[in-house]
Structure 1
């Protein structure tokens, strides 16, 4: 599954990884950010994987569509 995901990202098919039931599509910038975070989380060397706090920080951006605006 990891190899498949990496192949989809490498082939620039990230849009196809989204659930088709999601009505609000993320911006291309937000999608790229999420895909990069996912790739970092799948690093073969566990010591290179980000901590959860780092993941939260990487995803806290204004154009991320599923962020709670009332924070």
Structure 2
């Protein structure tokens, strides 16, 4: 997770939900890809905290979550 560099604003059009999201709410996160990073936020609190990962960190997380 990137905690040392400022994060540029992410346009709303960049955010997307997983195709596995049921639309019923409750557990959804949204992801936005940017140059050199991937951002994650709670879809129910779009103005809340956003996590940012570099490419290696994101790949490690996705590999872990897939198991």
Q: TM-score, normalised by structure 1?
A: 0.27
Bigger relative contact order (CA 8 A; separation at least 6): 1
Larger Rg: 1
Name whichever structure is richer in helix by fraction: 1
